């Protein structure tokens, strides 16, 4: 895979540039929207939810920002990845290129946006009274895992979208439901021990929880937490690679 990526490096770079230009075409702020959009969402959610969920949650602004930051990255990466094959059908129908290049270019774009927002996240955390420790370095692990997880889910969605046009509508409903199941804006401490363990079955909650434990609680999750996160990544990537390999030639007949 990496050898092919280097072989098609020029095409890959051009795809990333094109995606950036298309996303911010005819906008006044350009990439500034990548920073402004999550901040506006954070402001609205904090004003609306602080009275309901923030009363007994220390550093609720950082708590909420952790959830919206991770979930927005996942949502943006997978939604843009879902259309990566159909949106580039004109290219791979004429030229034989690895089809995952289109998905990777979308993920690079969303990753850059995420990293820019991450800087703002740390600034907000500092203003919220958070004291940073060396454990912040551990955030590299969940970010790396989340990137791979997004790629795996994006591969599955982009393959399904080729065959079933309803995928985009069903996934939008699923993402909205997943927002509430991922404890983006509320604390799960009020649930029973069994209920709290059930949340660990949600991969997105794992990433959000990791951020909160490192930044707010200044503690590193257990080794089992790391292994569970890695298992989710392996499953997502395995499913995505399987679908791309199995239906690689069939994609041409359905686009």
- CA 59 to the chain's CA centroid: 23
Which pTM does this prediction carry? 0.87
Residue 221 DSSP symbol = P
Strands of 99-220, DSSP E: none
pLDDT value at position 87?
Answer: 75
DSSP 189: G
Handedness of CA 77, 80, 82, 85 (dihedral sign): negative
Distance in angstroms (rounded) separating the CA atoms of residues 46 and 123: 17
- Output the average pLDDT for the chain: 83
Predicted pLDDT of residue 137: 95
Position 229 pLDDT exceeds 90: yes
Q: Which pLDDT band, with edges at 50, 70 and 90, does 47 fall under?
A: low
| Structure confidence at residue 92 as a pLDDT band (50, 70, 90) | low
| Interval 115-146: pLDDT, tens | 988 988 998 899 888 989 999 999 999 999 99
Q: Which tens digits make up the pLDDT trace of 143-200?
A: 999 999 999 999 999 999 988 888 999 999 999 999 999 998 888 888 899 999 999 9
Going by C-beta distance under 8 Å and a sequence separation of 6 or more, which residues neighbour residue 242? none
Residues listed for the chain:
255
**Residue range of the domain that includes 33:** 2-20+29-254
**How many domains would you assign to the chain?**
1
Q: Which ranges in 84-99 belong to alpha helices (H)?
A: 84-87, 89-92
């Amino acid at each position: 895979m990496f050898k092919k990526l280097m072989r098609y490096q020029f095409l890959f770079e051009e795809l990333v540039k094109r995606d950036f230009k298309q996303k911010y075409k005819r906008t006044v702020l350009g990439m500034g929207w990548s920073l402004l959009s999550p901040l506006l969402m954070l402001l609205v959610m904090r004003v609306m939810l602080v009275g309901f969920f923030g009363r007994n949650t220390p550093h609720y602004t950082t708590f909420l920002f952790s959830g919206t930051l991770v979930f927005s990255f996942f949502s943006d990466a997978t939604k843009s990845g879902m259309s990566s094959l159909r949106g580039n059908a004109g290219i791979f129908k004429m030229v034989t290129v690895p089809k995952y290049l289109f998905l990777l270019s979308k993920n690079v774009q969303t990753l850059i946006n995420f990293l820019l927002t991450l800087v703002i996240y740390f600034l907000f955390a500092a203003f919220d009274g958070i004291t940073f420790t060396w454990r912040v370095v551990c955030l590299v692990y969940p970010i790396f895992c989340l990137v791979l997880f997004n790629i795996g889910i994006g591969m599955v969605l982009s393959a399904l979208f080729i065959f079933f046009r309803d995928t985009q509508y069903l996934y939008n409903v699923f993402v909205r439901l997943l927002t509430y199941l991922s404890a983006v804006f509320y604390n799960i401490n009020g649930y029973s021990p069994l209920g709290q363990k059930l949340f660990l079955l949600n991969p997105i909650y794992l990433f959000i929880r990791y951020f909160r434990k490192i930044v707010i609680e200044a503690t590193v999750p257990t080794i089992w937490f790391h292994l569970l996160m890695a298992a989710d990544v392996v499953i997502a990537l395995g499913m995505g690679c399987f679908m791309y390999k199995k239906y690689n030639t069939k994609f041409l007949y359905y686009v």
